[in-house]
Structure 1
Amino acid sequence: MEAAAGGAGLTKWQAAALSAVAGWVWAASLFGLTRRTRALVQPWVNRRVQAETPAIVRFQRTHHRLLDNFFSVLSCVVSVPFYTGFLPLLFWSGHSKLARQMTLLMAFCDYLGNSVKDAVSAPRPSSPPVRRVTATEDEKENAMEYGLPSSHALNTVCLMGYLLHYVLTYGPHDSVMVATGLCLAILLVTLVGLGRIYLGMHSLTDVIAGIGFGIVILAFWLAVHDHVDAFVVSGQNVTTFWASLSLLLCFAYPKPEFPTPSFEYHTAFNGVAFGIVYGVQQTYFHFHNPDVPLIFSPQLPLLAFVGRVLVGIPTILVVKFCSKALSRWLLPVMCSTLGIPIVSSCYVPALKISEKSKDKSDAKQGGYLQKVFSLFPQKAYDVDTGIRFVQYASLAWSVVDLRCFVHSSNEEVLTCEILLNEDRDHHEL
């Protein structure tokens, strides 16, 4: 064991990692790294997108209602809402390691991909002349983000690649299964990439950048995922370290030219990652170790799994609603008590940004913490970020930690069924 470093009880490597992230935030702000990077990369990307626009228009001449529906559905299948619903099912089906690794990988992809998007701030193909198909509310929000790289392409490469790696590592396979899996993964990535261009959401440069970033991130994750998982399930000071890292990642994010939903997505997945880690820490040996029953096994038949879903989904929705309501009331009170200057862009009407409230905030005198915050360039902090983080951290925690209630309920049902069967057999004898 390494010696503890600091009052928080962090190990040396944890303190060094957090210091490196904090140093990066300070250096990026001091030297304007986002602005310098944007000045170098954005003009080139803009030229590429403009040059590819006529080709996109020609490609879209093949449009048909069936193709519109096919690529729209395919985009939904590899979108954030889909994985938000799919990952809890993985946890409840007993595949906890796969579920937590895919969740953390998706949070990692979301952070890096959206950071690059907002750092470069390159536009999507102009519409018109490009025909943009936004069949869902999720797609309409995606259209408000910047273009490079394509998040759909990046996420598909990483998550399909990791899923294939997991299946081939922990399941029986031969050369035919490996070749089939690779072909299916490549086919899905290709279709997703073509779909993003066909729907008018991205240029070819955006898609290629998404695939390239995805390959690099996947290779890195495959090199470290075992170490990450070992740390999450049995490491030292996991909750303290991850909470500190989550806080820093809210600041270690580039400021775009114009506001986009990308930071909101990052905050949500940042909270989800923390909730998953905290929940696994609490109940690993009971509900997330390698010996837990898998779906379709005698210990977890399909009926018991359906019971988990029927109890689990309403539970996590209630937790999400209650945590949002509680944090909307509690966080402003805490910040006011500590003298931290805050505003709200959406969740707290009384704190919405206005010239009057801005003048009032600047004129208000506070304690030591407010004087410390006055040294930073940002004069007030959006409390919605904290509310969103708490909301999604609670949601993820309920998926992982409240499974004990669902598990116990199902065990009671199974026990009753066994006792009834035994009683019936006794009477027949």
Structure 2
Amino acid sequence: MSHRRADVDSSWNEKPENTAAARAALGLDEDTLLLVGAAGRQPEEVYTRTMSWWRAAIRRAILRNVEWESQVLANMQARVRHPVLDAYFVYTSSLGTHTFFMIMLPLFFFFGAPHFGDGLLLMLAVGVYVSSVFKDFCCSPRPFAPPVTRLTIGNHHLEYGFPSTHSTNSVSIALFYYDLLRRAYQPTSPAAEPLISQGTYMLGVGILLFYVFSIVYGRLYTGMHSFTDCAVGIALGAGIWSLHAICGTYVDAWVRNNGFIVPAVIVPLCLYLVHRHPQPVDDCPCFEDAIAFVSVVMGMFVARWTMLHYGYDEDFFVRPMPGSSWATWSDVGTWWSTAAIKTIIGVLTIFVWRIAAKSFCHFVLPPTFRFLSHLVTLPHRRFYTPATDYTSVPPEKGLRPIPSVIDLPHMVELEVDGVGVASSARRNGTYGAVKQRAGRARQEVSEKGSAGRDGADADGQAAWSGSRAKNGADVKHYDADVLTKVFVYCGIGIMAVGVIPVMFEVLGWGVKTS
């Protein structure tokens, strides 16, 4: 398959040998899908008509930065892009995805560090929610391709660009761990001895700086964000960590020392945050990440409050993990074997719950919504089909394959000219009419996409309840999806924080590592 090169002269992307090397480093074959147009690229009048005047004015101000920064990013890519760097920054970007956090965050609760897990989860949830609110509120596109070349895993290119959620999360995480390092190196009590040496402290700081650089600069290198996106994301991350450092202990005390008022406040508050999330002009998937994290936090608070008030607090978890003494090689092997078993069973339990709960909700919620629609007016979100317009949710909405490390090379996507095409789609002519140049291609995608598929309503809002998949098929959203996600991810929070650690303690595997 011949490569569709960016319509930019004298750039790195114009050289076929560089493109081939980049594909080889990323593990891309000829059947790998290229990207479909991202959010925020409809004609300007669509946003002016749909958004309030002051919201549209904010978008135009950000858009002016995106326009000139896109050329700056393209010039940078032309100078520094290399196949090895392509692979590195693409794959390290997966460290900021919600799937990665869904796998890694539970480990804090499985291995006796719930305080760290609570803090990280709360900061990440606030970061994802606040940044997604900004994204759907401002509707600002990512850097334009061309002139930039965009590399990504998954569907993050379909989101708006401002601000960078990856930058927000990486900075808040780095500051969280830096605070732990600082306290270990400089104890608050003058009489206390440092827990770590100066060399360990400096090494830790270096690792954190390198982590932040890899994530933040990686967003620029891969063409996923502008400098403005990353700068605001960094500021948000620092602000969120500061808020946690100031208020975290008070929130913990409130949950520990109060009765039913805690779930009575937390549950409605989280549901309200889901309901009041801004509605975008385009079909932007970042709303779904916001739902997921808010719901996990809701489950975390409910589980933590229940455990503290019904006998499953710190005093319940007394067993150390088998082999925790590490006195002999046999102890070391026992500890690592137990840790591997706990990780596999714990993560697998979460994924089984996710699949089973999705299927249950998709079976129960649509008829429930249809019944309630005759009694009250149900809230409706743009791009989500109401239950009165469908009889059942397609099976693939409930049973989606779980990505693995083996799948990563096939999830990598490359956008070089503003609109992508699947090689298989080319063979059957699905995208035969799509033009090479970005402007015309964007226009045609817009005409066939969310704004023009079924027309617009009286307020200029897109009426079509879906987006376009990688293979060109229509992807529809259903109103049951929202409450399904809330139920599923709230359950994930409850299981990761409460149910699974209690199960490990009862089975004798313990959660204490020493």
Q: Do these two structures clear the TM 0.5 threshold for a shared fold by scoring above it?
A: yes
Equivalent residue for 1:321? 355
CA contact (8 A) 2:172 2:241 kept: yes
How big is the shift at 1:191? 2.5
CA distance in 1, matches of 2:100, 2:178: 18
Q: Does 1:156 align with 2:167?
A: no
Q: How does 1:89-104 map to 2 (within 5 A)?
A: 89-104=107-122
Structure 2 residue 216 is the aligned partner of structure 1 residue 193 = yes
1:395 deviates by 1.8
Structure 1 residues 342, 150: CA separation in 2 closer, same or farther (over 3 Å shift)? closer
- Secondary structure of the residue that 2:282 maps to in structure 1? coil
Structure 1 70/288 Cα, relative in aligned 2: closer, same or farther at 3 Å?
farther
* Aligned partner of residue 126 in structure 1, secondary structure: coil
Work out whether 1:210 is the aligned partner of 2:233. yes
Equivalent residue for 2:504, pick from 393, 406, 411: 406
Gaps of 5+ in 2: 1-50, 186-194, 327-333, 394-452, 458-477
CA distance 1:268–1:289, change in 2 (3 Å)? farther
181-190 or 97-106: bigger deviation: 181-190
Alpha-carbon contact 2:103-2:347 (below 8 Å) kept? no
| 1:7 equivalent in structure 2 | none
Find out whether 1:88 has 2:106 as its counterpart: yes
Match of 1:184 in 2: 207
For 1:129 and 1:175, locate their aligned partners in 2 and report how far apart those are by CA, in whole Å: 46
1:350 to 1:160, Cα distance in 2 relative to 1, 3 A: same
CA contact (8 A) 1:345 1:384 kept: no
Provide closer, same or farther for how the CA distance between residues 162 and 399 of structure 1 changes in structure 2, counting only shifts above 3 A: same
Distance 1:390 1:54, change over 3 A: same
Deviates more, 1:95-104 or 1:309-318: 309-318
Deviation, structure 1 residue 382 = 2.3
Alignment of 1:219-258 (within 5 A): 219-236=242-259, 237-258=261-282
Instruction: State the Cα distance separating 1:349 from its structure 2 match.
Output: 4.7
Do the aligned residues in 2 keep the contact of 1:98 with 1:166 (CA within 8 Å)? Answer: no
Give distance in 1, aligned partners of 2:365 and 2:314.
Answer: 32
The letter for the 2-side match of 1:326 is F
Distance 1:290 1:176 in 2: 37
**Alpha-carbon displacement from aligned partner over 1:343-368 (angstroms, at most 9, x marks no partner):** 7549995268x99xx9xxxxxxxxxx
Shift of 1:36: 4.8
Distance 2:316 2:245 in 1: 19
How far does residue 246 in structure 1 lie from its aligned partner after superposition?
Answer: 1.1
What letter is aligned with 1:272?
Answer: V
Alignment of 1:48-197 (within 5 A): 48-61=65-78, 62-134=80-152, 136-137=153-154, 141-169=155-183, 172-173=195-196, 177-197=200-220
Q: Does 1:47 find its partner at 2:64?
A: yes
Instruction: Check whether the contact 1:87–1:103 (CA below 8 A) recurs between aligned residues.
Output: yes
- Single out whichever of 228-237 and 314-323 deviates more from structure 2: 228-237
SS in 2 for 1:321: helix
By how many angstroms is 1:192 displaced?
1.6
User: How far 1:292 sits from its partner (Å)?
Assistant: 5.2
Shift of 1:291: 6.5
Structure 2 distance, partners of 1:218, 1:346, is: 38
Count matched residues: 353
Structure 1 CA distance for aligned equivalents of residues 480 and 266 of structure 2: 20
CA offset digits 1:123-171 (Å, max 9, x no partner): 111112210112x22xxx1111111111111100011211222344468
Distance of 2:318 and 2:165 partners within structure 1: 34
- Which moved further from structure 2: 299-308 or 180-189? 299-308
Q: In 2, are the aligned partners of 1:342 and 1:382 still within 8 Å (CA)?
A: no
In the TM superposition, residue 113 of structure 1 has moved relative to its aligned partner by 0.7
Question: Which moved further from structure 2: 181-190 or 50-59?
Answer: 181-190
Higher helix share: 1
For CA contacts below 8 A with separation 6 or more, give which structure has more relative contact order: 2
- Write the distance in 2 (CA, Å) between the matches of 1:104 and 1:65: 36
CA RMSD of aligned residues (A): 3.2
Q: Name the SS for the 1:143 alignment partner.
A: helix
Identity of aligned residues (%): 24
- Aligned match for 1:350, one of 377, 388, 391: 391
5+ residue gaps, structure 1: 1-33, 359-380, 413-429
Closer, same or farther: CA 277–292 of 1 in aligned 2, 3 Å: farther
CA positional deviation for 1:411 = 4.4
Name the SS of the counterpart of 1:133 in structure 2: strand
CA contact (8 A) 1:145 1:262 kept: yes
Question: Within 5 A, what are the aligned runs for 1:21-32?
Answer: none
- Normalised to the residue count of structure 1, the TM-score between the two structures is 0.74
CA deviation map 1:232-259 (0-9, x unaligned): 3443322221111111101221122212
Secondary structure, in 3 states, of the residue corresponding to 1:205?
Answer: helix
Provide the C-alpha distance between the structure 1 equivalents of 2:319 and 2:175, rounded to a whole number of angstroms. 25
- Asked whether the equivalents of residues 57 and 129 of structure 1 are also in contact (C-alpha less than 8 Å), the reply is yes
Instruction: Decide whether aligned partners of structure 1 residues 175 and 37 sit closer, same or farther in structure 2, where only a CA change above 3 A counts.
Output: farther
Q: Conserved in 1, the CA contact under 8 Å of 2:70 and 2:148?
A: yes
Task: Find the aligned partners of 2:509 and 2:77 in 1 and give their Cα distance.
Answer: 54
Taking the aligned partners of 1:209 and 1:294, their CA distance within structure 2 comes to 43
* Residues in 1 aligned to 2:107 and 2:214: alpha-carbon distance in whole angstroms: 25
**Residue deviations 1:8-59 (CA, integer Å, cap 9, x gap):** xxxxxxxxxxxxxxxxxxxxxxxxxx73552332112111111112211111
- The SS at the match of 2:58 is helix
Distance 1:85 1:59, change over 3 A: same
